Structure 1
Amino acid sequence: MKLYNLKDIKEQVNFSQAVKRGLGRKQGLFFPETIPRISKKKIKKLINETFITRSQKILSIFIGSEIEKSIINKSIQKAFSFPGPKISYITKKILCCELFHGPTLAFKDYGARFMAQILSLLNAEKKSITILTATSGDTGAAVAHAFYKMKNIRVVVLYPKGKISKIQRKLFCTLGHNITTIAVDGSFDECQKLVKKAFNDIEIKKYTQLNSANSINISRLLAQICYFFEIFHLIPESIHNKIIISVPCGNFGNLTAGLIAKSMGLPVKKFILSTNSNNTVPRYLKTGIWNPYKTISTMSNAMDISRPNNWPRVQKILQKEQWKINKHLEYGSVSEESTKKNIKELFKKFNYISEPHASVAYTLLKKSINKKDLYGIFLGTAHPIKFQETVEKILQIKLQKPQVISKIIHLKELSYNIKPNFNTLKKILINHQ
């Protein structure tokens, strides 16, 4: 598999190099030189496979002979060894694809666990690696659990202090061992800025082999393609050509994976790019002006991102495929009031307990399902318990805690607290080898 740097096309790498480097020169994202096309006949066959077998085939198409097929297959089996996606019917025409049945109750488990397996595999020399990543909610837990107690790999996670839920924090700030967590007195974008600065710092590079586990890492992105194919396995074949998928968007990794799946031949009619009040991209698509505002804190905090890292990849796919906005990709943003209103609607009308991110996707989807022959799927990216206080307050009910949460809720948090100061982060990275 050949990839190139979107900011410097002369920088070309293979899959292994892209995974190990995370980012290219000038903070550029790696992108496949070609997206493999699969015939309709083969797509149909793939859809009928089991989730693991299909995922092994999809990822092997991308990775090719670079890593032995049997080794890749074992890595995928290990990475996806948890209950896969589930479909919940809200109405006859609107469905929710629940991607939160993994160990940290969020869709990020797929990408993070695959990346952990691959990186461990590629680290044959057993060098000491530091995974440095920022989280706006769910990435931190998924990455921390995926790499927990792995030899020669240390994880450092930055998160915006006071801006992620208690349960989100408990899932990754209580682990210790090879996991270091840092609460930054600022926004997610400020955390992201610190991470990017660290990757450019010569002194840090001298002492630490850095890698990123955000959705900018190609291994995470490719893993996410797999569950878009699983959606079609879980729904009736009679509606395969009538599907619109609404994706709650923060850093845009999920949407990028979905668009790659569509580019490969998966018959998704259209995607909906759904954001909360942090609506840089919807405004850009409407006006043609890229003008990020200051990040706003919302109840759908994993989407509180004003400068989404994966947007250049989305643009590249749209450009390559010559897909027109509105025909292949709708977009919109949802207010806090509408998010709340539709959490209530899903519960009171359809007896379905949802959380803020899924509600954002549902809100825009139901506006789109106005033609008789279309069916809509919105992605449920996190378990409602991760937003317990918000959901309980809105619905006036008590949520049942899954066992994984009951075990960790009383554990002590082990985070450093810092201002968004690069030198402070630098000291932590260099002094705690």
Structure 2
Amino acid sequence: MELFNLKDNTDTASFAQAVKKGLGKNQGLYFPQQFSSFDNIDEILSMPFVERSVEILTRLIGDEMDKEDVKSIVEKAFIFGAPLVEVKDNVYSLELYHGPTLAFKDFGGRFMAQVLSVIAKGQPITILTATSGDTGAAVAHAFHGIDNINVVILYPKGKISVLQEKLFTTLGDNIHTVAIEDDFDACQQLVKSAFDDPEVREGLHLNSANSINISRLLAQVCYYFEAISQLEADKRDNVVVSVPSGNFGNLTAGMIAKVMGLPIKKFVAATNSNDTVPRYLKTGQWEPSTTVATLSNAMDVSQPNNWPRIEALIEQGFIDKKLLVGDAVDEEYTQVAMKQLAQLGYISEPHAAIAFKSLMRFMEEGDTGIFLGTAHPAKFRESVENVLGQPISLPQPLADCAGKEILSAELPSDYKALKAHLFATLKG
């Protein structure tokens, strides 16, 4: 699998190299210039989830990894399902939160951890990543206890839910967490600065587990196929998929699935008030605003890192820009959507509610709608209970960590302070 740096096409990498490096020169994203589509899509959709995922990932990675290795990785990573649940006539929620940390990022995090454990061959690695909520837990649990791999997770202090925080800040061992006194965009910038610093990048053998890492992105392609496979055959021709979007890795994966032959009619990029992409799609002007805090905090991103990959898919002719629409849902309508879903007998959290609201705005007669449920409602227990006025019970993974001590360090949004902390923690 040959990957090209989207900022410098002379900078190429194999799949293994891209997984280990994370970012290319000038903070560029690695991405394929060619994709292979399935000509037997009905046969692919008829396969069980794990078996189908092996076929998808083998097709994407190519002959760089033995198919048996891919099979072993997938079997260890995808130990949970992604059920498609009917919410109302022709409207479904793809529930991606049945993994160990109750969020869609378990798919990418666990796949990446297994891939790295194979290709690292015992060499030391430091995973440095930023999280706006769910990435941290998925990455922490995926890598917890793996020999020779340290994980450092930056997150915006006070801007994620307490239960989200406790899922990844209470593990200890090889998992190191840092609360940054700023927003998620600042956390991402600190990560980028570290990768631009040769002393840190090479001295600590840096790797990123954000959705910018190609391994996480490819893993996410698989659950789009799983969604369509659960629809009756006569409902697959006019599918509209609404994706709650923050850093835009999830939507990128869906578009790759489309390029590989998955029958999807339209994508809706659903954001909260941090609406850089919906405004860009309407005006053609890329004008990020200051990030604002919302109920859907995992989407509080004004400068999404994965957007260049979507631009590449469009510019290279793989995706027709007309297949993508953007929509922003404010705080009032987020709460309205949560209540509407509850009236339908479906309890949801703010991110999925935004995707549902946007889906309802763009579905046409004869369409089948799917919105992505990216996290268990209990991960946002306080806001869900406040909006719906009813208690939410804690699933076991959250109950287990609720009473544990947070082990995070706290730092200002200052690269020099972070650099000193990294060397003191990992080299001390």
Per the shorter chain, which TM-score range? over 0.9
* Helix, strand or coil at the partner of 1:429: helix
Q: Residues 206 and 86 from structure 1, CA distance in 2 versus in 1: closer, same or farther, beyond 3 angstroms? A: closer
- 1:235 is aligned, of 231, 234, 245, to 231
Please tell me the residue identity of whatever aligns with 1:108: K
* Helix, strand or coil at the partner of 1:219: helix
- Residue-by-residue CA offset, 1:272-327 (whole Å, 9 max, x unaligned): 010000001111111111111110000000000000000000011112226444x3
Q: Deviation of residue 388 (structure 1)?
A: 0.2
Q: Does 1:102 align with 2:99?
A: yes
Q: For the Cα contact (< 8 Å) 2:132–2:184, is it kept in 1? A: yes
Please tell me the residue identity of whatever aligns with 1:427: A
Q: For the Cα contact (< 8 Å) 1:251–1:308, is it kept in 2? A: yes
CA distance in 1, matches of 2:125, 2:23: 15
Q: Deviation of residue 424 (structure 1)?
A: 1.2
Please tell me the residue identity of whatever aligns with 1:115: M
Match in the other structure for 1:85 = 82
Question: What are the ranges of 5 or more consecutive residues in structure 1 without an aligned counterpart?
Answer: none
- 2:328 is aligned, of 330, 333, 347, to 333
Q: Deviation of residue 103 (structure 1)?
A: 0.4
- 1:431 is aligned, of 400, 416, 424, to 424
Q: For the Cα contact (< 8 Å) 1:181–1:416, is it kept in 2? A: yes
Match in the other structure for 1:316 = 312
CA distance in 2, matches of 1:383, 1:164: 15
Q: Does 1:395 align with 2:392?
A: no
* Helix, strand or coil at the partner of 2:173: coil
Q: For the Cα contact (< 8 Å) 1:228–1:261, is it kept in 2? A: yes
Q: Deviation of residue 370 (structure 1)?
A: 3.0
Match in the other structure for 2:25 = 25
Match in the other structure for 1:355 = 349
* Helix, strand or coil at the partner of 1:90: strand
Q: Does 1:162 align with 2:155?
A: no
Q: For the Cα contact (< 8 Å) 2:44–2:52, is it kept in 1? A: yes
Q: For the Cα contact (< 8 Å) 1:2–1:13, is it kept in 2? A: yes
Q: TM-score, normalised by structure 2?
A: 0.98
Cα RMSD after superposing both structures: 0.9
Question: What are the ranges of 5 or more consecutive residues in structure 2 without an aligned counterpart?
Answer: none
CA distance in 2, matches of 1:107, 1:303: 13
CA distance in 2, matches of 1:79, 1:308: 26
CA distance in 2, matches of 1:204, 1:14: 23
Q: Does 1:153 align with 2:135?
A: no
Q: For the Cα contact (< 8 Å) 1:340–1:356, is it kept in 2? A: yes
- Residue-by-residue CA offset, 1:341-400 (whole Å, 9 max, x unaligned): 11011102x0110000001100110112232x1111100000000000000011111111
Q: TM-score, normalised by structure 1?
A: 0.97
CA distance in 2, matches of 1:173, 1:253: 24
Match in the other structure for 2:34 = 34
CA distance in 2, matches of 1:173, 1:256: 28
Please tell me the residue identity of whatever aligns with 2:25: R
Q: Does 1:121 align with 2:107?
A: no
Deviates more, 1:42-51 or 1:61-70: 61-70
Q: Does 1:189 align with 2:182?
A: no
Q: Does 1:6 align with 2:37?
A: no
Match in the other structure for 1:375 = 368
Match in the other structure for 2:407 = 414
Match in the other structure for 2:360 = 366
Match in the other structure for 2:49 = 51
- Residue-by-residue CA offset, 1:217-252 (whole Å, 9 max, x unaligned): 000000000000001111111111110000000000
Q: For the Cα contact (< 8 Å) 1:263–1:321, is it kept in 2? A: no
Q: For the Cα contact (< 8 Å) 1:251–1:305, is it kept in 2? A: yes
